Amino acid sequence: MKDKKKGLLQIIVILAVIGLCTFTTLVGFTKAHKGSAQNIKLGLDLAGGVSITYQAVGDNPSAKDMEDTRNMMQQRAEVYSTESSVVLGENGRITIDIPGVANAEEVLASLGKEGSLDFVAQDDMSFADEAKTQPVYTKTVCTGKDIKSAEANTQQHEVTKNKEYVVQLKFKSSGTKKFAKATQEAAPSNKIIYIVYDGQVLSSPAVQSEISNGEAVIEGGFKTYEEADHLASMIRIGALPIELKEIQSQVVGAQLGLDAIQTSLLAGAIGFALIIIFMIIFYRLPGVAASIALVFYLVLMLVVLNVLDVTLTLPGIAGIILNIGMAVDANVIIFTRIREELAKGKTVQSSIKLGFDKALSAIVDGNVTTLIAAFVLYIKGSGTVKGFATTLAIGIVLSMFTALFITKILLKAMYALGVDDVKYFGVEKPRKTIHFVENRMKYFLISGALLVACVVCLIVNKAGRCDGNILNYGLDFSGGTTFDITFNEGTEITDDIKKEVENIFMSESGSNDVVISEIAGANGLSVKTVELSEDQRNNVTNTMVEKYGVDEKNIENQNISASVSGEMRQDAVVAVVIAAICMLLYIWFRFKDIVFAGSAILALLHDVFVVLLVYAVAMISVGNTFIACMLTIVGYSINATIVIFDRIRENIGTRTSEEALTAIVNESVTQTLTRSINTSLTTFIMVLMIAILGVESVRDFAIPLLAGIICGAYSSVCITGTLWFAIKKMWMKSKKAN
């Protein structure tokens, strides 16, 4: 009776937490909807807006100069949106994201201009409004170019003897003379010298005496040191010698982002429903527990995104959807183990315990290797790819928690309530051992043929493509400018319109290198050309609005310099290499056998090359998400491999003969075959929904990922175990020979 009450209480608590998280996600607790899904920060690809990256020109600027520049850009960006983000990058780079802006041209023009800091005498100042917030002047005492330094400090007040906060200014020789003359004229009447930055009055100190040595002190009115330091920073900003050059920019329409959210959520909902149906039909009562745990995972994921203030991007949503499929993996491993224990005649209670215990190492090792891929992806990726890496990593941690704890609690609680018949769990049916090792040469030949096909296809592409590239490099990897233009419903896209648009771009760019294609699922055109300047991009936008009546909100453009695209190509290769090395070391450490690690990495590279073949044959655009796709496949493939290796390690014992190893590999792969198929199937379902319903940018990510899932399932079942056997066999022969 006591166990029944405890089990019922546990189920009620879990359902209550799900209900609470759901309420928090959909509604929130305050008028500001704190904690609700609608309060989650959206990236530019979902909210629309402008993103631009600048590079400091010339010698490497100091850290202080870069921080001052960041502050300047933050001030400018917040004029358009308080949600703006300004981040310092490496090598003198600054990236600015401004979500939800309507007039992209105005924003880009404003951000790129030089800051103006002026010192204006009271007699030369007037204001355009009564609030004295719009200064009007034509004459200045001196400018930011005359400032040598500006620092916040403290001093003792001459009268009260109290500590006060001040700003100490030092002028260059050119400014010293001009400022001395201005203060000489202002001092007798204690007139003001206004300090104006970008059309806003920063400070209006009254002049007490002539300042002839080029060192001035602004005092009074500062309540805290931070206030004085802020003014000093703004003055330094106006005096910055740093010149910024645009190297990357992107303009995204808000409506297109909204459409992307809706289609992605629909894809996730359909895939989620299909997985729950599959789990309940195939795994019965454990499937019900896993489905509840999946719901728990999903609502908890949304709450965590809000609590950690994670910016959600379109690839980030794809990462959550992918995680739903991958979250099933741990449950599948556990349930397979439970069924195996029931088949041995164990009781339901002991089978549940043993199932979780025996599945633990495979689940932990598999998820750690996927976390390695997510970590490398976050370090080497940029922009939206970091969003994907973040949600992937969070999802892995949460899915492990829900599978190992929530599912376990639910199963034990259901058992305590009397649902303890074996028929509710199912028993693993005896399966005839499949001779994988004996057929290994067939598998190796198939894989070899695929690898040869990949190399041949890359060579053919290089010889046949007009640009000489082995793959269809997107803007991220090739540099240049792209426009996605969505026309009004009444405008039919004809060959004549395509030709007109092509001529507009050729005329503006001065180049014949213009590629136009229709946007799948939308009444629009995608145009790729050489790198265009800001003025050229603005001219194209204005022409589209004036000539075709296109709403400016439906015009997206992205601009990437050749230097940035070269770095992205390099990062893609480096990311895969780093991930492979890290996984090699981890597997070697965990399995205490270099043969396990080596064969796993070889199988992993096999999967990477096969997916590369898909990119080459289908001519899918290779861009920033290419890194995400490859590393996801790397993590996913290793995950599947570790489950098999974990079973081999369990079965091997002290047996080392060739006959014993043959039997062990065949038996281990056969035992884990259900898990391999079911996990691949659930993940495939989720990604397939994204590929069918997602927008084009996500579809380009999902299609090669589908190929990677299929290839990963094939390599984990047919290649990894047999490859381990082949290497182990050669290793043992080599030892005997020595």
CATH classification of the domain holding 621: 1.20.1640.10
- 507/554 same-domain check: yes
Of 239, 273, 295, the last residue of a domain is 239
Please report, as a single letter, which amino acid is at residue 129. D
Q: Which residue's entry shows tokens 């020595």?
A: 738
- 661/574 same-domain check: yes
- 355/335 same-domain check: yes
- Cβ distance 410 to 338 under 8 Å? no
Residue 473 lies in a domain: no
- 707/570 same-domain check: yes
Domain of residue 60 covers: 44-114
Of 534, 560, 586, the last residue of a domain is 560
pLDDT of residue 438: 92
- Cβ distance 377 to 627 under 8 Å? yes
Residue 468 lies in a domain: no
- 232/108 same-domain check: no
Torsional class of 205: left (φ above 0), alpha (ψ -120 to 50), beta (otherwise): beta
- Cβ distance 486 to 254 under 8 Å? no
d(CA 700, CA 41): 24
How many other C-beta atoms lie within 10 A of the C-beta of residue 58? 10
Helices (H) and strands (E) in the chain — how many of each?
A: 23, 17
d(CA 276, CA 682): 10
Residue 464 lies in a domain: no
- 405/503 same-domain check: no
Write out residues in the chain with pLDDT < 50, as ranges.
29-35
| CATH number of the domain to which 200 belongs | 3.30.1360.200
- 140/230 same-domain check: yes
- 556/578 same-domain check: no
Q: How many domains does the chain have?
A: 5
d(CA 245, CA 34): 39
pTM: 0.70
- 511/451 same-domain check: no
Long-range contacts from 352-361, C-beta under 8 angstroms, 24+ separation: 352/408, 352/411, 352/412, 352/415, 356/404, 356/408, 358/650, 359/330, 359/333, 359/334, 360/404, 361/646
Q: Which residue's entry shows tokens 């946007």?
A: 519
- Cβ distance 719 to 443 under 8 Å? yes
- 223/297 same-domain check: no
pLDDT of residue 440: 92
Of 239, 266, 287, the last residue of a domain is 239
- 100/198 same-domain check: no
- Cβ distance 292 to 11 under 8 Å? no
d(CA 374, CA 366): 13
Residue 373 lies in a domain: yes
Taking CA 500 as the corner, what is the angle to CA 499 and CA 501, rounded to the nearest 5 degrees? 90
Q: Which two tokens stand for residue 29?
A: 């607790």
DSSP H helices, 171-284, are 173-186, 225-238, 254-283
Residue 246 lies in a domain: no
Residue 710 lies in a domain: yes
Question: For 548-601, how does the pLDDT look when each residue is reduced to its tens digit (9 = 90+)?
Answer: 888 877 887 877 776 666 677 777 777 778 877 888 888 888 888 888 888 888
- 600/451 same-domain check: yes
Residue 208 lies in a domain: yes
How many other C-beta atoms lie within 10 A of the C-beta of residue 281? 9
d(CA 262, CA 595): 47
Residue 720 lies in a domain: yes
**119: exposed, middle or buried (Cβ count in 10 Å: 0-12, 13-18, 19+):** buried
